[in-house]
Amino acid sequence: MKQELRKIVEPIIEWYQNQEKTLPWKQDKEPYHIWVSEIMLQQTRIEAVKKYYTRFMKELPTIQDLACVPEEKLLKLWEGLGYYSRARNLKKAAIQIEQEYEGKMPTNYADLLKLAGIGEYTAGAIASISYKEKVPAVDGNVLRVISRVLASKEDVLLPETKRNITKALFEILPDEPGDFNEGLMELGEKICLPNTVPLCETCPIQEFCRAYKENLTKEIPIRIKKQKRKIEKRTVFILEYQNHMAIRKREKTGILANLYEFPNVIRRSDRRRNSKNIRTMEHTI
Please count the residues of the chain.
Answer: 285
Shortest separation between residue 95's beta carbon and ligand SF4, angstroms? 41
Instruction: Name which position in 15, 78, 131, 212 contacts ligand SF4 (CB under 6 A).
Output: 212
**CB of 114 or CB of 213, closer to ligand SF4:** 213
Q: Nearest CA to 216 among 204, 198, 233, 234?
A: 198
**CB of 49 or CB of 192, closer to ligand SF4:** 192
Shortest separation between residue 193's beta carbon and ligand SF4, angstroms? 8
Distance from C-alpha of 275 to C-alpha of 277, rounded to nearest angstrom:
5
Shortest separation between residue 206's beta carbon and ligand SF4, angstroms? 4
* Distance (Å) of CA 51 to CA 47, 77, 78: 8, 11, 11
| Residue 12 makes contact with ligand SF4 by CB under 6 A | no
- At residue 105, φ and ψ (nearest 5 deg) are -55, 135
Shortest separation between residue 217's beta carbon and ligand SF4, angstroms? 4
- Please, which residues have CB within 8 angstroms of residue 204's CB and are 6 or more apart in sequence? 11, 12, 14, 15, 187
Instruction: Name which position in 12, 118, 149, 185 contacts ligand SF4 (CB under 6 A).
Output: 149
Longest dimension (CA), the chain: 82
**CB of 178 or CB of 204, closer to ligand SF4:** 204
Instruction: Name which position in 161, 217, 235, 264 contacts ligand SF4 (CB under 6 A).
Output: 217
Which amino acid is present at 12? I
Instruction: Name which position in 87, 97, 209, 278 contacts ligand SF4 (CB under 6 A).
Output: 209
Site string for ligand SF4, 150-189 (x = CB under 6 A): ----------------------------------------
Contact 242, 205 (CB under 8 A): no
Contact 50, 24 (CB under 8 A): yes
Site string for ligand SF4, 93-132 (x = CB under 6 A): ----------------------------------------
Distance from C-alpha of 108 to C-alpha of 87, rounded to nearest angstrom:
22
Distance from C-alpha of 169 to C-alpha of 182, rounded to nearest angstrom:
13
Distance from C-alpha of 138 to C-alpha of 160, rounded to nearest angstrom:
13
Shortest separation between residue 255's beta carbon and ligand SF4, angstroms? 40
- Which range binds ligand SF4 by CB under 6 A, 87-95, 101-109, 116-124, 141-149? 141-149
| Residue 211 makes contact with ligand SF4 by CB under 6 A | yes
Give the number of other Cβ atoms within 10 Å of residue 167's Cβ: 12
Distance from C-alpha of 268 to C-alpha of 41, rounded to nearest angstrom:
46
Would you name the residues annotated as active-site residues? 38
With left for phi above 0 and alpha for psi between -120 and 50, is residue 82 left, alpha or beta? left
Shortest separation between residue 18's beta carbon and ligand SF4, angstroms? 16
Restricting to residues 187-206, which ones interact with ligand SF4 according to CB under 6 A? 191-192, 198-200, 203, 205-206
Question: Which residues of the shown chain bind ligand SF4 in the complex (CB under 6 A)?
Answer: 145, 148-149, 191-192, 198-200, 203, 205-206, 209, 211-212, 217
